[in-house]
Structure 1
Amino acid sequence: CVDGDLYICVRMPTVEVGTVGGGTSLPCQTEALQMIGCKGDGKAKKFSEIVAATVLAGELSTLAAQAAGQLGQAHKALGR
């Protein structure tokens, strides 16, 4: 906390993603990469930033559920 503000970040020093070659030419993968503007050369950095943002959102959601006492309840209800 700095001056009353909350700062949350995720550090992912090595994220291996691909936006060309391999399975990226398959129809579903092509469509998904195009939808987020990450299909083709030079788009791996943008794709890795989206991956990191998604991870951060998941971590924040998990922390919120834990703080609210809902994490254990969800596991019991869903049988996980």
Structure 2
Amino acid sequence: MKRKGVERDQAAKELIQKVYERDNGVLGYRQIQLFLLHDHGVWMNHKKVLRIMLDLGIRSRIRRIVVIMFLLKEVGWQKIY
């Protein structure tokens, strides 16, 4: 039986949106799940968090590793992460 007009995940959507916007879209679904537990005391399954994020159309921003190359006179080229 399908229920019409009932939004059972509305409170969860608002919490996830709040955590996502607080950290400027950097967090993924696993980190959002942990922040919900630590900051708000709400345990939510990671699959549910991912499903709600897909419904809201939000995705985490991918953070790339920046490799900086520099020249030292006595050592030569080195990578610093």
If you compute each CA radius of gyration, which structure gives the higher value, 1 or 2?
2
TM-score by length of 2: 0.23
Compare the two structures and name the one with the higher strand fraction. 2
Compare the two structures and name the one with the higher helix fraction. 1
